[in-house]
Structure 1
């Protein structure tokens, strides 16, 4: 396979479909393969089972790229929980983002345009956590990724909703009260979830039928309040050892030998020394230099400088 898919000076004929030169993604970039080769330690396995028995969120702390977010897919696959519902946290995330979104502006425009069959529930969409709480046929798995990026109040607010197991959707509550006043019968509404499925809502209130499986990840960039930590099962991913890294590499690549294998030891030593590195950096490098790309020593050196650089944030 040619190393330089892109040369910077070629103007291929579009009719030849030059995009077909693009290779398949590396195996760890595919979720179905990644969960098959995920390396579980006995300690992490016990932490997961403790969280499942106690119906508590599992808070995973570790360096970026250590596989924290892959774990939820592995749990969901083994327990047949459906595709995980992913909530990626930013500094602007609020509890409402995880529960539901209401497109008030869209409804206003539709009202002004006199759209037919205008229903409030058409403008409400459940968030990842709201979808999990609304699920009635089975529990759902939720990834709350990088919760340490959130504002101070979100972690505690989040666990309060999980403990109570219900929340109101105000525009639906108002609409249900009006309809019930007209008909004298309880109102059952249907809204779209984060997984694009439809969920029934009784009078604008979501009430938990099943306890969701919650995995929260943190890069260890902030401290959490004690009440929040008390209501989680906590697990800190250990600094990867040479043996662990070899297991990960061998799970995806089968031609890592000689000086390339020595890179695994060097990478582990850098981690022990306190450098911020992600395991997939090592995988990326070894995947390319051991592949059938015709990479020479000069390109290898450039790739090492590019792909194995410390995550300093510069």
Structure 2
């Protein structure tokens, strides 16, 4: 990694495209958050895990929900506990710091070694959430109003922000990020990813499975395209059930649903659609 190490790249356990590797290194060089978008299941979260591992540093995960507020990433002040302790005559009440819980940004700012901070699925939060973090991510500091402290980053953390594109992010926030969209892997890259997870897989089985998988992804009007993670789940089941390439290919050529389709199709509309397409293919003598 530049600015303190070698460039981020593929390892024996993780395949990364050259474009994504360049994006990671560019974000680190610019000292800007890396905003990663892409289909669910394309490895956005895994990227932060692998980056932290490659740097031998701590990964701090802040998983965002619809109810998450930006303030929670800084700290939370537990006024209720302080009131209760006051009523009970506890000595703790004399130090307000006993009721302040540092958030993930506080932890990242005060880490002894430069950490990787993952802000996962930022698009789940309220539309104002990204704007509420602009100053803190830009200046790498914030004030604790209850104590008057100023928390400033000892080492500027490497910030990875993921989004599934559920809602648009504000322009002011986007300007402060380096952006990369993870394109869905092509067949060769996907085969390499599979080999990492299942090094003993038969090439014939892998070839047939990938053919079916990509054909499924290209089906028109599919509500939820299967992702890389779902392909890996499906292959794990095929291997566990010892399903042969011939059995898999026969089911495909006969125009039926693929074995163990529940790993790939996640709702009844898509199951019905694939069944309908298979029926039409049989009628056409495919």
Are the equivalent residues in 2 in contact too, given 1:241–1:268 (CA < 8 A)? Answer: no
Give, in whole Å, the separation in 2 of the partners of 1:238 and 1:39: 13
**CA distance change for structure 1 residues 148 and 105 in 2, over 3 Å: closer, same or farther?**
same
SS class of match (1:72): helix
Match of 1:284 in 2: 233
Q: 1:36 Cα deviation (Å)? A: 5.2
Q: 1:261 Cα deviation (Å)? A: 3.7
TM-score (normalizing by structure 2): 0.78
Matched, 1:213 2:158: yes
Matched, 1:269 2:244: no
Give, in whole Å, the separation in 1 of the partners of 2:30 and 2:134: 14
**CA distance change for structure 1 residues 310 and 230 in 2, over 3 Å: closer, same or farther?**
same
TM-score (normalizing by structure 1): 0.71
Given candidates 45, 50, 67, the residue that maps to 1:69 is 45
Q: 1:279 Cα deviation (Å)? A: 1.1
Given candidates 114, 122, 125, the residue that maps to 1:147 is 122
Q: 1:73 Cα deviation (Å)? A: 1.5
- Structure 2 gap ranges (5+): 1-10, 252-256, 271-286
Give, in whole Å, the separation in 1 of the partners of 2:12 and 2:120: 21
Match of 1:248 in 2: 193
Q: 1:154 Cα deviation (Å)? A: 1.3
Q: 1:303 Cα deviation (Å)? A: 6.0
**Higher RCO (CA-CA < 8 Å; seq separation 6+):** 1
**CA distance change for structure 1 residues 238 and 294 in 2, over 3 Å: closer, same or farther?**
closer
Are the equivalent residues in 2 in contact too, given 1:132–1:212 (CA < 8 A)? Answer: yes
Q: 1:66 Cα deviation (Å)? A: 0.6
**CA distance change for structure 1 residues 80 and 280 in 2, over 3 Å: closer, same or farther?**
same
TM-align CA RMSD: 2.7
